Amino acid sequence: MTEKELRALLADMSLEEKLGEMTQLSPNFFGTEESVDLTGPMQQMNLKPEDVPLLGSTLNAFGAEKIIEMQKHHMELQPHHIPMLFMADVIHGLKTIYPIPLAMGSSFNTDLMEEAAAMAAREAAATGVQLTFSPMADLVRDPRWGRVMESPGEDPLLIARMTEATVKGYQGEDVSAPDRIASCFKHFGGYGAAEGGRDYNTVDVSDGMLREFYLDGYKAAVDAGAAMGMTSFNTIDRIPATGSQKLYRKILRDEWGFDGVAITDFDAVNEMIPHGLAADGKEAAKYALKAGVDIEMMSTHILNYGKELVRSGEIDEKLIDEAVWRILKLKNKLGLFENPFKGADPEKEKELHQCAAHMALAREISARCVVLLKNEGKILPLKKGAKVGLAGPFANSLSVLGGWSIIAASGSTTLLQGLTEHGAEVKMAMTEELKPMQMGFFDVSDQTAELETLADCDVVIAAVGEHPDDTGESASRTILRLSHNQEKMLERLHDMGKKVVAVIFSGRPLEIRPVLPFCDAVVQAWFLGSEAGPAIGDVLFGDVNPSARLSMSFPQTVGQVPVYYNHMNTGRPVVGKPHRYVSCYLDCPNEPLFPFGYGLSYSEYHYQNLKVEKTEGGLPLKVSVEVENTSDVAGRETVQLYIHDVAASVVRPVKELKDFTQIDLAPGEKKTVTFAVTTEMLSFWNNEAFVFEHGDFEIMVGHSSDEVLTEKVTL
């Protein structure tokens, strides 16, 4: 449609029609039986049958045939035959599931991220989905929060890069193409800072914290051209985000120039009532409209009270028109007025879903997300032909996809399959699967006596972790240790004198310090998706040399949380040995068990000759470092650049990641890696604007946030 035609359509729409366009309900409201994954309370909707044909979009309908049918039916009834928009939670793949976003962050590989999202787009588009509620760009520091699994991690730059790659992967150059889908970033804003790690909880961060840490991911999505943004459940500075004019009108629209669609999270308009901002549904609708909400998801206050608010003059109809204009523009951009079914195609669906090419890509990506945390005595990689014992709840479990794999319940392979595929002779014991805490189960039974049967194995792989349903939305935890009998199993194996390789399946950093002494090697396997088993096998047997790094710090104990690498200093930092009256704990070091950026490899790398050179005028700085593979194994090294502004008008983090790259190094090979440090990288929010201040800076390059070479420079 031309812009003129679209304007004419808007001008011809009734107010009721416009309010319907601004409302999103699940497929069951449209007369289809099932509705997948209703993640929140269903409120009394007060929906009349004549409202249904006016609704502009739905969420989580899947299946090309069904969606084509729904669309046809809907368009017949909609007064202007406006197609509806099919949105869904395609978070880390649709049928071919790739690693959870926290694991993808660990890959430090934006190319793979883009390819993964493009694969998800192909599968989702064929099934009829036109927009995904992804990426989540919430910065996360608190592993008690179950939703850390949906984020690329604790670092603003890593999140921004991963977010940008994800948006590009979904939308491509032309989002109307049949194999592309639109992207909705979420949850704007600051949802990752929910107090105490308890889901939906209050967020209270300073403006500086927000500007420098929490907003970067969303901004990257906007800059990458994401079609939509979603509000968050939390309050921010005492206002629920869904009603925040500061977030939506000021920052998103005015400052960042976002002209895409703003959707609320599930029921979030209604939730402004229990939050205590709105007295009733009418007031909630008013707050949302004033803040700049375009679509209300899963509550109907705008639909129910919009007319009254316009008639009474409390809301200018111009606001409604602006919102509907943005929605129509998006539908038009997706090409729905020409082809309302977009990529929906039952044949393509069959052909693409879990096709060989997608599964191969998932395997490659998954192996690149596995973080090697410990490898004492170089016990890994395993020798081909080794006699392998396999124990623990994830030994032969299909529960390895990770949360939000909503319609991909089948087709994953287990760790056992992954090991046997590599020709390993595997003997198993104590393999009872974990059941979710969500359903009241907290442990497996004590079968440690069975472990004796593994006495003749050369090495025992202990596949431990948490149930995937205990991660993600509404899955906050206060205790992050492995369950009692899993810890007991590791201790028993160690006491038996076995070499123990712990493979950890989790959607968050767990508290593994108590079991670390029992493990010779520790492999953080997150939830890797459809090809988890084979990919872990590839790493354990050395077909893939690990290159992933932690996207989130692992605490020593949950009492340290939040513990993250890019913290500020204090006036009493620990220098050398901790002593009284410095900022420290009596019973635990300040440092995490494993910091952000940390991860081992089967190779060894040596960094030397860090040079920081000024260009004409000072900036950008040219930074170079030599990285040598001093081992006899080819590897991929993740080189990280950090900076520290020594003194500034507001205090600066002790370290900030500013760039990273990956290089492949043959045995003995040495490469020079260069980075440019720009003015922008050295700028910060001084509570009014982003500024650069002259002074001393430390430039650091290294293997991990806690292992760097440092050079000082004065600018």
* Residues carrying an active site annotation: 265
Q: Quick one: 233 or 598, whose CB is closer to ligand NOJ? A: 233
Which CB sits closer to ligand NOJ, 40 or 599? 40
Buried b (16+ CB within 10 A) or exposed e, 251-278: bbbeebebebbbbbbbbbbbbbbebebb
Distance in Å, CB of 342 to ligand NOJ, minimum: 20
Query: Least separation, in Å, of the C-beta of 558 and ligand NOJ?
Result: 24
Q: Which two tokens stand for residue 136?
A: 């989540």
Q: Where do the H-state alpha helices sit in 519-562?
A: 532-540
Between 413 and 476, whose beta carbon lies closer to ligand NOJ? 476
Rounded-to-integer distance, Cα 287 and Cα 475, Å: 29
Q: Which is nearer to ligand NOJ, 145 or 602 (CB)?
A: 145
Between 17 and 265, CB nearer to ligand NOJ: 265
Q: Which positions from 558 through 597 interact with ligand NOJ, judged by CB under 6 A?
A: none
Taking the least distance from each CB to ligand NOJ, the nearer of 345 and 473 is: 473
Q: Does 531 bind ligand NOJ (CB under 6 A)?
A: no
The total of other beta-carbon atoms located within 10 Å of residue 460's CB is 27
Residue 145 CB, shortest distance to ligand NOJ, in Å, is 12
Rounded to a whole number of angstroms, the minimum distance from the CB of residue 61 to ligand NOJ is 12
- Among the listed residues 29, 86, 108, 133, the single contact to ligand NOJ using CB under 6 A: 133
Query: Integer distance in angstroms from the first to the last C-alpha of the chain?
Result: 53
Q: Are 550 and 105 in contact (CB under 8 A)?
A: no
Residues 626 and 55: their CA atoms lie apart, in Å, by 59
Report d(CA 540, CA 158) in Å as an integer.
26
Nearest-angstrom CA–CA distance, 367 and 622: 33
Tell me the number of residues near ligand NOJ by CB under 6 A: 9
Strands (E), 452-553: 459-465, 499-505, 521-524
Q: Which of 39, 417, 453, 686 binds ligand NOJ (CB under 6 A)?
A: 39
DSSP string, 382-412: PPTT-EEEEESTTTT-STTS-TT-TT--S--
> Strands 261-263 and 459-465, how do they pair?
unpaired
Q: Please, which of residues 237-296 interact with ligand NOJ by CB under 6 A?
A: 265-266
Q: DSSP letter at 553?
A: P
DSSP sequence for 571-638: SS---SS--TTSS--SSS-SS-SB-TT--B-SS-EEEEEEEEEEETTEEEEEEEEEEEE-SSS-EEEE
Out of 19, 54, 59, 361, name the contact with ligand NOJ by CB under 6 A: 59
Q: Which is nearer to ligand NOJ, 266 or 607 (CB)?
A: 266
Q: By CB under 6 A, name the one of 74, 180, 186, 652 that touches ligand NOJ.
A: 186
Of 291 and 464, CB closest to ligand NOJ? 291
Is the CB of 142 or the CB of 473 nearer to ligand NOJ? 473
DSSP-assigned letters across all residues of 333-367: HTTTTT-TTTT--HHHHHHHTT-HHHHHHHHHHHH
Residue 114 or 138: the one with the smaller Cβ distance to ligand NOJ is: 138
Q: b/e for 356-378, b at 16 or more Cβ within 10 A?
A: eebbebbbbbbbbbbbbbbbeee
Q: At what angle do helices 156-171 and 110-127 cross, to 10 degrees?
A: 40
| DSSP 8-class letter at 293 | -
Q: Are 106 and 532 in contact (CB under 8 A)?
A: no
Residue nearest to ligand NOJ as judged by C-beta position: 133
Minimum Å distance from CB 38 to ligand NOJ?
8
Q: How far apart are CA 195 and CA 149, in angstroms?
A: 17
Residue closer to ligand NOJ (CB basis): 230 or 699: 230
Measured CA to CA, the distance from residue 479 to residue 681 in angstroms comes to: 37
Residue 473 within binding range of ligand NOJ, rule CB under 6 A: yes
Specify burial of residue 355 (Cβ count, 10 A radius: 0-12, 13-18, 19+): middle
Q: What are phi and psi of 158, to 5 degrees?
A: -60, -40
Q: At its nearest, how many Å lie between ligand NOJ and the CB of residue 39?
A: 4
- What minimum distance in Å lies between the beta carbon of 191 and ligand NOJ? 8
Please report how close the Cβ of residue 152 comes to ligand NOJ at its closest, in angstroms. Answer: 15
The correct pick among 51, 89, 154, 469 for binding ligand NOJ (CB under 6 A) is 89
- Number of C-beta neighbours around residue 336 at 10 A: 23
92 binds ligand NOJ (CB under 6 A): no
Q: Please, are residues 113 and 364 in contact by the beta-carbon 8 Å criterion?
A: no
Residue 6: other Cβ atoms inside 10 A: 16
Matching residue, tokens 């079914």: 341
Kindly give, in sequence order, each residue whose CB lies less than 8 Å from that of residue 18, ignoring residues fewer than 6 positions away: 10, 306, 320, 321, 323, 324
| CA dist., res. 246 & res. 482, Å (int) | 41
d(CA 457, CA 499): 9
What tokens were used for 484?
A: 């009692």
Nearer to ligand NOJ, 295 or 388 (CB): 295
The one-letter amino acid at 74: H
Sole residue written with tokens 């996360």: 140
List residues near ligand NOJ by CB under 6 A. 37, 39, 59, 89, 133, 186, 265-266, 473
